[in-house]
């Protein structure tokens, strides 16, 4: 018999965002159009299960373009690339399909705009993240990376009258707000993007976590360890004082986490497939969490067009492809 009152609160929105759906579909469509192998630079999205599935379909994941045969077809991941990577691809006569998320492209264009105005660009983000590496490459001589208010305090700017900021798209809303506030305090003339760079999916999933924290005793976030937006969901919950854990799948759930927990909340990062959430829910049901409540914070209905390299392919109209599920 299930213990009375043991409940799962399933957050919505969760899981795949429009940029991830687009990136995954790009790989599947390319494989259907052109056949294997298709090379993909870096992980198409930061999720082990997604990468393993696409590898099984014939995608070959590589770290750098020198691993791709000259003249072969390569896909750039959703996180974007630096101009030097695009130049290298042209020099090696590679057939490029660009799956960069349009919201990441927006940040790249902002960097170019500010660099042309001879501004110092402050990029708020996490060092060594694929997205940050790509954005830094747009104007490396003009861009300084900061990750905390303390980094802002250490800044030395050649011309405080000509300074701007942009951000990684998958950051913590609260921590980014603190850094931006410190930048404005130190540099009152600083300019930022017309609209925030943190993407809608990152924001919505963090807001959902904040809303559920008073109602649960623990949060499980489905997502891979190298997924920035997934890690932020855990941090948001922990910062408020409720235990939270990032898991790749149900196999990583430790039984002791559930000791004394009557209400567990569940969500998923923007690159985590819904079937992993479904498997986790079923596992929790078997552990006695028989009451399931879905909590929707905001409806999402965002779609992005395919990259032009695929959209204009004459064979596309004959290709049947199942669009990736999202919630």
Residues assigned a catalytic role:
131
**First vs last Cα of the chain: how many Å apart?**
31
Which residue shows structure tokens 């959430």? 277
CB 131 within 8 A of CB 167: no
DSSP type of residue 115: H
Q: Retrieve residue 132's tokens.
A: 């940050």
**Helix (H), strand (E), coil (C) string for 33-51:** HHCCCEEEECCCCCCHHHH
Biggest CA-to-CA distance, the chain: 69
| DSSP three-state, residue 138 | coil
User: Of 43, 236, 50, which Cα lies nearest the Cα of 129?
Assistant: 43
Burial of 77 (0-12, 13-18, 19+ CB in 10 A): buried
């Amino acid at each position: 018999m299930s213990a009375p009152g043991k409940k799962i609160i399933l957050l919505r929105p969760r899981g795949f965002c429009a940029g991830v759906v687009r990136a995954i579909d790009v790989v599947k469509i390319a494989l259907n159009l052109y056949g294997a192998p298709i090379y993909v630079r870096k992980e198409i999205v930061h999720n082990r299960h997604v990468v393993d599935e696409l590898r099984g379909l014939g995608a070959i994941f590589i770290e750098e373009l020198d691993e791709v045969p000259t003249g072969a077809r390569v896909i750039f991941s959703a996180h974007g690339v630096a101009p030097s990577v695009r130049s290298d691809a042209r020099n090696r006569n590679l057939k490029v399909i660009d799956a960069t998320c349009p919201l990441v492209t927006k940040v790249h264009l902002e960097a170019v705009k500010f660099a042309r105005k001879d501004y110092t660009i402050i990029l708020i983000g996490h060092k060594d993240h694929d997205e940050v590496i790509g954005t830094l490459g747009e104007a490396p001589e003009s861009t300084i990376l900061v990750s905390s208010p303390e980094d802002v305090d250490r800044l030395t700017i050649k011309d405080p009258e000509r300074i701007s900021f942009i951000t990684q798209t998958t950051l913590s809303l609260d921590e980014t707000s603190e850094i931006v506030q410190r930048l404005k305090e130190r540099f009152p003339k600083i300019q930022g993007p017309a609209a925030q760079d943190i993407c809608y999916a990152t924001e919505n999933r963090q807001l959902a976590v904040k809303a559920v924290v008073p109602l649960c005793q623990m949060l499980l976030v489905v997502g891979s360890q190298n997924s920035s937006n997934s890690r932020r969901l855990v941090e948001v919950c922990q910062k408020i004082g409720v235990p939270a854990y990032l898991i790749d799948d149900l196999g990583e759930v430790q039984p002791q986490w559930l000791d004394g927990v009557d209400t567990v909340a569940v969500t998923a990062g923007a690159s985590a497939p819904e079937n992993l959430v479904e498997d986790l829910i079923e596992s929790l049901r078997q552990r006695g969490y028989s009451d399931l409540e879905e909590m929707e914070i905001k409806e999402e209905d965002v779609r992005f067009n395919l990259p032009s390299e695929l959209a204009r392919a004459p064979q596309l109209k004959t290709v049947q492809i199942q669009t990736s599920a999202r919630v």
